[in-house]
Amino acid sequence: MALNSTPAWRALVAHTAPPLPHLRELFGADPQRFDRFSASFDGWLLDYSKQRVNSETMSLLAALWQAADVHGWISRMNSGAAINPTEARAVGHTWLRAPLPRPEVSAVLAQMRNFCVAVHSGEWRGATGERITDVVNIGIGGSDLGPRMVTQALNAYAIADIDVHYVANLDASDLGQKLQRLRPESTLFVVCSKTFTTQETMQNADSARAWLVGALGEFAVAKHFVAVSTNLEAVAKFGIDPNNAFAFWDWVGGRYSLWSAVGLSTALAIGYVHFEKLLAGAAAMDEHFFSAPVGQNLPALLGLLQVWNTSFLGAPTQAILPYSQSLELLPRHLQQLEMESNGKRVDREGNELQTPACPVIWGEPGTNGQHAFYQLIHQGGRLIPCDFIAIKQPDYDLPGHHAKLLSNCFAQSEALMRGKTLAEAQAELGAGADPVLAANKVFPGNQPSTTLLMPAITPYTVGQLVALYEHKVFVAGCLWDINSFDQWGVEYGKQLAARLLPVIEGKTENAQLDSSTAGLIKASRV
Ligand code: F6P
């Protein structure tokens, strides 16, 4: 039976009418609301009391968890079953961070450790004998976003004397801007691609190789290029020494791959010891997810609440708002993690979904977002659930910043929850207030949010954070009954681009084009 025909799903639909009272009233009626609707784990707090839920909502969501057999799917994933059937693949990213990894994983981790030590100690040098001062990770999607985000998040742990850069875009300005400031003698390129066929990565790798060879000669490639891939044959064809290739496996999805050798650039940035702590943090979150009861299980709660807001309350988007500059790139990483995983139109049986699944994920760090788009969240008239992420212990502790940062974060979720009535706005303005101005100062409130309070930004907690969202996506995918591990939606555009390239290059005229595409190609000729 399709999940949305189950009694559990139908009970949740029935529960939406009539809607729950305004959040302000729910807080007024229950002084214990925070205690009732918050959970903690290993120094983390998840406060979901500002979500539009009551105890019945949470029981009904727990029943949906049962109906969706989330525990069964966890067991199938952990046993190595091909739970990604459209690619006939198992889903094993948690095996990469297991406390006792499989032999093939241990071997690559050892290779990564040795390589990091060699680069950091200066034992590994460029072809002319210079130390490596700059690492350029060339990759896109999962071979870029996760490692880039973690490297930025852990900047406080960065190894001195080595700068790590990330290049992803096919636009030459991405690589070109970086190369402008680099010296070939001291630059190491890490070409990172699961398939080693991705157009953007191959083009950037070719251009980087030409730049290096142009300056130092062909012999230099061996000391300035390493690769991370599941396709070691293609790596060898590209001309990278097989000794400088780091393997991973088809059971690691691109957007779940930062724990594999795809994390090599991160390990070069922060040191292998810190990379190991990242893995340990993720493993701790895995253990929590696999064992904690639903009501105390952080990823389970985040997944259930996302499905509640999206499928039952009708919210088409979700904002990710980290109050941490170090987590600046988290929304971008989660865009791929969530939308490439759950932005699907059919269920596991291939039946069309009745309503869209994954919401549009977007966001920016607070407080910057407050001066940009929060206006719309407060008064734009749309339902926008928000994840606020706050940090107890700042990673850069300049006097005067952190208390102000936290006060802004907590004030925003309070304002979104509480709102401001017309009577309150009039009272603030005083007697004889301009009614137009008063109307502009009304905030409807009742905007749902969750606040995640992290203990600190460390390799361990960042590992926990990323794993937390990975499992949240898994839960939501189970509740929507979709395969979260394929990504066929990215293929069609690639196919069409391959067809257009020879037309744009003037190698062929293609009469089959629609008038817009043909017109654009014509107009783009210089
Ligand atoms: O086009 C989407 C995608 O396949 C992602 O899933 C993946 O992370 C990215 O491309 C990069 O792929 P690769 O690592 O094979 O270069």
Span 345-370, pLDDT tens digits:
999 999 999 989 999 999 999 999 99
- Distance, CA 231 to ligand 1 centroid (Å)? 13
CATH of 98-270, one of 3.40.50.10490, 1.10.10.10, 3.90.1310.10, 3.40.50.300: 3.40.50.10490
Close Cβ partners of 146 (under 8 Å, ≥ 6 residues apart): 255, 257, 258, 262, 263, 333, 337, 466
Q: How far apart are CA 462 and CA 110, in angstroms?
A: 22
Q: Which two tokens stand for residue 215?
A: 């300056």
Report the distance separating Cα 115 and Cα 268, nearest Å: 9
User: What's the order of all strands across the beta sheet hosting 187-192?
Assistant: 163-167, 134-138, 187-192, 225-229, 245-247
Q: Is the CB of 195 under 6 A from ligand 1?
A: yes
Atom index in ligand 1 nearest the CA of residue 262 equals 14
Question: Residue 452's beta-bridge partner residues?
Answer: 46, 389
* Residue 228 near ligand 1, beta carbon < 6 Å: no
Q: Is-contact 390 367, C-beta < 8 A?
A: no
Name the residue with tokens 């727990």: 62
Q: How far is the CA of 473 from the centre of ligand 1 (A)?
A: 18
Domain 3-85+284-415+443-480 bears CATH identifier 3.40.1710.10 = no
Is residue 196 pLDDT above 80, yes or no? yes
Query: Which SS3 state, helix, strand or coil, does residue 243 take?
Result: helix
Q: Residues for the chain: how many in total?
A: 526
Give the whole-number percent of the chain exceeding pLDDT 90: 97
Ligand 1 centroid to residue 193 C-alpha, Å = 7
Judged against a pLDDT cut of 70, whether residue 510 lies above it is answered with no
257 lines ligand 1 (CB under 6 A): no
Decide whether any atom of ligand 1 lies within 6 Å of the 194 Cβ: yes
Q: Say how many Å lie between the CA of residue 79 and the centre of ligand 1.
A: 25
From the CB of 229, is ligand 1 less than 6 Å away? Answer: no
Catalytic residues: 340, 371, 494
* pTM beyond cutoff 0.85: yes
Tokens coding 250: 């088809």
Inform me whether the pLDDT recorded for 420 exceeds 90: yes
Q: Check pLDDT > 90 for residue 270.
A: yes
Centre of ligand 1 from the C-alpha of residue 197, in Å: 9
Matching fold, domains 3-85+284-415+443-480 and 98-270: yes
- Weakest-pLDDT range from 99-113, 287-301, 324-338, 510-524: 510-524
Per DSSP, 310 falls in state I
Tens digits of residue pLDDT in 18-76 = 999 999 999 999 999 999 999 999 999 999 999 999 999 999 999 999 999 999 999 99
pLDDT at residue 323 is higher than 90: yes
Atom of ligand 1 nearest to the CA of 195: 15
Ligand 1 pocket, residue 143 CB under 6 Å: yes
- Answer whether 331 contacts ligand 1 (Cβ < 6 A): no
Nearest Cα to 521, choosing from 508, 169, 198, 170?
A: 508
Q: Please, are residues 168 and 139 in contact by the beta-carbon 8 Å criterion?
A: yes
The letter for the amino acid at 162 is I
For residue 491, the ligand 1 atom closest to its alpha carbon is 1
C-alpha of residue 196 to centroid of ligand 1, in Å = 9
Pocket test for ligand 1, best of 143, 167, 246, 257 (most atoms within 8 A of CB): 143
Q: What is the pLDDT of residue 81?
A: 98
Mutate to test the pocket of ligand 1, among 262, 490, 494, 495 (most ligand atoms within 8 A of CB): 490
Domain segments of the chain as ranges: 3-85+284-415+443-480, 98-270, 488-524
User: What residue's CA is closest to ligand 1, atom 16?
Assistant: 193
